[in-house]
Amino acid sequence: MDLAIMGYGVVGSGVARLLARNNESIAARSMQPNMRLKYILDLREFPGDPFAPLVVHDVNLILDDPEIGIVAETMGGQHPAFEFVKACLERGKSVVTSNKELVATKGLELMQTAKAHNVNFLFEASVGGGIPIIRPLSQCLAANVISEVAGILNGTTNFILTKMFADGMPFDTALGLAQENGYAEKDPSADVDGHDACRKICILATLAFGRHVYPEQVRTEGVRGVATEDVLYAEHAGYNIKLIGRARRLEDGRVSAVVGPMLVPFDNLLANVNDVYNAIMIHGDAVEDVIFYGRGAGRFPTASAVVADMIDCAKHTQRRRFFDWETGGADYVAPAAQDVVSLYIRLRCGSPDETFAALRGLLPGAQKLSREGAQPHELALITPKMEEGAALAALRGRDVQSVMRLF
């Protein structure tokens, strides 16, 4: 059986190298002694690259070649990845992908296409880089009713936050380093503004709760607004700030799903996940909390998951490996403002003491925070648990600088 890779970037080149490096064990595990990489599709040339002879520019070479049984899509983005993947599935080729945007937006359609053509569509690499999470969530935890999935889902922003706050590195330098290491998306705003984490929580929520959650249904904030003052207040109160994706099953059958920077208590394992590492926590009624931890981005960690899916496809040429979920719906995700949460709030005001006294009437039990070097017209507080919309209404008209949820 022959293989093809579509997209020779960081992940695609990792897949080619890993297939070559672990050739014997991969052949043994896939029970396909003659598995070989035949084409690499990319618009660019790669002179001097060991895999340059395999590079082609026309997807039809892959589509029309009956010997190609498995295709790894590592191009990223929706288009033309969607058209290429769909065409591969329709031609009877199994596809594995690391493309979270594709799975989060078109996963249901592609899964249905795979079923209709009796081939596999697998996407272990789309969440958590090298961390096994898609199969554990869908298969190993299948006996559970899952009530929550949450975690640090973006390696680049976790790397940036760690470098900024542990090493004092400026934001742009930390982002540049993440790009050099091959962690960041082509368009770094996908990382920094939370869209990458949003796509991943959509995939996890979809698998955990059984209906498709779409990125536009998830309120998403990135890390650009996290200021040094926030970190100092958070640390003084016993929290780290992490970009968290969180999805919960609600009693009325809907789900809550958000992405944003959150204050995570020091004694929570997620608070101590640093650098490019990701960690994903799942709560099931039987298993309770389980946490998956590892490298969430980078060439070989992500290639590890892609190649594992290729091996799985090779082993399942007769039997299919389907993941099942249903379509979502406009009302399936509850408005974020209805979530019951505690908020961290920093605002500018004339007199912090007077402002806090006035706010405490509206937010009973609110806790005033302190930090070294606090400015005279600055107030930071933590609200009691209440509907987010009600807490924010209490602050209407105030000069609010920062709002983050407590995890």
Residues that bind ligand HSE in the complex, under the rule CB under 6 A: 129, 154-156, 183-185, 191, 196, 296-297
385 is annotated as an active-site residue = no
- CA–CA separation, 198 and 223 (whole Å): 13
Shortest CB 39 distance to ligand HSE, Å: 24
- Helix or strand run (H / E) with residue 276: none
* Catalytic residue from among 115, 200, 315, 385: 200
Residue 380 near residue 352 (C-beta atoms within 8 A):
no
Residue 46 near residue 81 (C-beta atoms within 8 A):
no
Provide the 3-class DSSP secondary structure of residue 341.
Answer: strand
Shortest CB 307 distance to ligand HSE, Å: 16
CA neighbor of 321 nearest in space, from 123, 81, 108, 34? 123
E strands within 42-145?
55-56, 68-73, 94-97, 121-122
Tokens of 31: 């029970």
Question: Which CB sits closer to ligand HSE, 195 or 346?
Answer: 195
Question: Which CB sits closer to ligand HSE, 185 or 388?
Answer: 185
Provide the 3-class DSSP secondary structure of residue 405.
Answer: strand
Shortest CB 184 distance to ligand HSE, Å: 5
Question: Which CB sits closer to ligand HSE, 98 or 217?
Answer: 98
Question: Which CB sits closer to ligand HSE, 124 or 196?
Answer: 196
Q: Token match 């790669």: residue?
A: 46
Question: Which CB sits closer to ligand HSE, 87 or 122?
Answer: 122
Q: What are the backbone angles phi and psi of residue 246, rounded to the nearest 5°?
A: -140, 130
Provide the 3-class DSSP secondary structure of residue 394.
Answer: helix
In the bound state, the residue with its beta carbon closest to ligand HSE is: 156
Shortest CB 155 distance to ligand HSE, Å: 4
Alpha helices (H) along 181-220: 189-192, 195-209
Shortest CB 301 distance to ligand HSE, Å: 9
In order, the DSSP letters of 118-141 are: T--EE-GGGSSTTS--HHIIIIIT
Shortest CB 111 distance to ligand HSE, Å: 20
Question: Which CB sits closer to ligand HSE, 45 or 187?
Answer: 187
Mind telling me the catalytic residues?
A: 200
